[in-house]
Chains A and B, each alone.
Chain A
Amino acid sequence: MNDCKIVDARNTFCPGPLMELITYMKQASVGDTLELLSTDDGSGADVPEWVNKAGHELVSKERVEGVWHIRIRKAK
């Protein structure tokens, strides 16, 4: 099942992917899952840090062929 919205922020640099994610998170409903795609190395550490601080849920994080796939569930 793949019901999450993809936020494609590949080929942009810090803090582009994070800002893209936050823009879509603001529009999402509580319980929605978003998947961020990022080629920015730092996203692997920075995005989970923001998710933790903002009080959302990190569902999964993996890097496939140089692209971070980070799934986040909106918790509030």
Chain B
Amino acid sequence: MARRLFIVCVTGTREKLQMAAMFASVAAATGDEVSVFLSMNALPYFIKGRVAEPPVEGEMGTLMEQKGVPPFKQLFQQAVQLGDAKLLPCSMALDLMRLSKDSMDEEVGPPTGLTRFLSDAEGAQLLTF
């Protein structure tokens, strides 16, 4: 049976989004069942047409910008396309920003509440960024 990995993205910085995307893409492409919950300051980076890049936290973020590190959005897309990962926007955060599912990137799935997410994540591995 495939492992189940739940990832919670709440921080809108380059390093945190990158690390979450790396875990999501590698796990999904290896056959794990991956769900990524997007909320707080991480959510705006998944709004359709958004061009602003997240700020860097420190040295690694700056280095990643200069070198050939795959962009986090590309890794999340690969997680969805190659490994059927789910990107789930927090329904509360969408409400706060007055956004609908249609305002979000194509890969982003249905708005999801905490009750549903916690219920699905029961007994699985959960990482928070």
CA distance A15 to B68 in the complex (A): 11
B70 to A18, Cβ gap below 8 A?
Answer: no
Number of interface residues of B (CB under 8 A): 14
B29 interface hit (Cβ, 8 Å): yes
B116 interface hit (Cβ, 8 Å): no
Number of interface residues of A (CB under 8 A): 14
CA distance A26 to B81 in the complex (A): 11
CA distance A76 to B30 in the complex (A): 14
CA distance A16 to B22 in the complex (A): 9
A18 to B26, Cβ gap below 8 A?
Answer: yes
Chain A contacts of B69 at CB under 8 A? Answer: 12-13, 16
B82 interface hit (Cβ, 8 Å): yes
How many contacts between A and B, using CB within 8 angstroms?
40
Majority secondary structure, A binding face: helix
A54 to B68, Cβ gap below 8 A?
Answer: no
CA distance A11 to B68 in the complex (A): 6
CA distance A15 to B64 in the complex (A): 13
Among A12, A13, A54, find the residue whose CB has the most chain B CB atoms closer than 10 A.
A13
**If the complex has contacts A11-B68, A13-B69, are A19 and B30 also in contact, measured as CB distance less than 8 A?**
no
Closest to A16 in B: B70
**If the complex has contacts A15-B75, A23-B82, A26-B82, are A50 and B30 also in contact, measured as CB distance less than 8 A?**
yes
CA distance A50 to B67 in the complex (A): 24
Among residues 4 to 26 in chain A, which have CB atoms less than 8 Å away from a CB atom of chain B?
11-16, 18-19, 22-23, 26
Top 9 A-B pairs, shortest CB-CB distance: A16-B70, A12-B68, A13-B69, A22-B29, A15-B26, A19-B78, A11-B68, A53-B30, A15-B22
Residues of A within 8 A of B (CB): 11-16, 18-19, 22-23, 26, 50, 53-54
